[in-house]
Amino acid sequence: MMNPTLKNQARNVSPGTIIRGKWHHCKYRTVRLLGHGANGNVYLAESSNGRVAVKIGRESMSITSEVNVLKQFSRVQGNVLGPSLIDVDDWVTTDGTHPFYVMEYLRGQPLLSFIREKGEEWIGILTVQLLADLDRLHREGWVFGDLKPDNLLVSGPPPRVRWFDVGGTTLIGRSIKEYTEFFDRGYWGLGSRKAEPSYDLFAVAMIMLNSAYPKRFDRKKEGQRQLREALYESKALARYRRVITSALEGKYADAPSMRQDMVKAMSVPPSKPKRTSRTQSRKLKKQTKKSREWLQTFLFAAFLFVAYFLYLFGAH
């Protein structure tokens, strides 16, 4: 069972708190909360080497697991999968010992905020980037698991999607250890929580839906039907409907397949409703007016003809 004191401490580290490592004696002064999850909270902090991100865990086992993931990332050529690992230590306080690790602070803008500011065309661009990184992660034997906009930043220039919290990362074949309902296929009744590439790809499709529905929504009916309805109501996602549907239904076995279809979808210009210019509108009004006047003239002439015919018929 989780120690409630430790849980509260992890959630309530106030700005200005000094975290001093028990073993390496490095000091970190917290600035603000960056994010929180099932395994602990991430804080922006000041160090002797500049700004860093510090994750304070709730148990040593989960921290050790995440540290191993970051070490694995560091061995991947290019190391763009996640932040660099800087320090691992324990923080001793009056209410116990709290494991923590320190990583590179990624400067950037939250994913949804970036898309809202720069335009919906970035949905496809950033998704293609994310799929390329997920492919590298999957080939290393891992699934991200808790994949959501909250764990993604856009750094740059040039704009580049990055992730900064690997708390849900799980070895392929095992059960997903951390997830968020909206991005979890199990919640929507569209698959298991087994760690496999298709689990992450479902989450990618949900991130795209989240970009169109920033407030998200709860499941209120049959999951597949509700998601399909939401998808087809979004104009911003019109060109990606087939790709998103396939990902939601688990039809992609790997990230490259989805990425290839995304690139194809991006190459097709979105259909735009035809706009009527002011000149065309004026012409249309004139034509309508002329047609109405012609009809009135025709009816009046017909009336005179009938009246004249009746007059002749009545004269005999």
3-state helix, strand, coil in the chain (%, to 5): 45, 20, 35
- Helix or strand run (H / E) with residue 103: strand 96-104
Nearest to residue 42, comparing CAs of 112, 109, 130, 103? 103
Say how far apart CA 56 and CA 227 lie, in whole Å.
Answer: 36
Nearest to residue 144, comparing CAs of 214, 213, 72? 72
Say how far apart CA 81 and CA 161 lie, in whole Å.
Answer: 10
Say how far apart CA 103 and CA 70 lie, in whole Å.
Answer: 9
Q: Which residues lie below 8 Å from residue 131, measured CB to CB, with a gap of 6+?
A: 201, 204, 255, 256, 258, 259, 262
Which residues participate in catalysis according to the annotation?
146
Is there a contact between 192 and 184 (Cβ–Cβ < 8 Å)? no
Is there a contact between 196 and 172 (Cβ–Cβ < 8 Å)? yes
DSSP 269: P
Main-chain phi, psi angles of 73, to 5 degrees: -60, -40
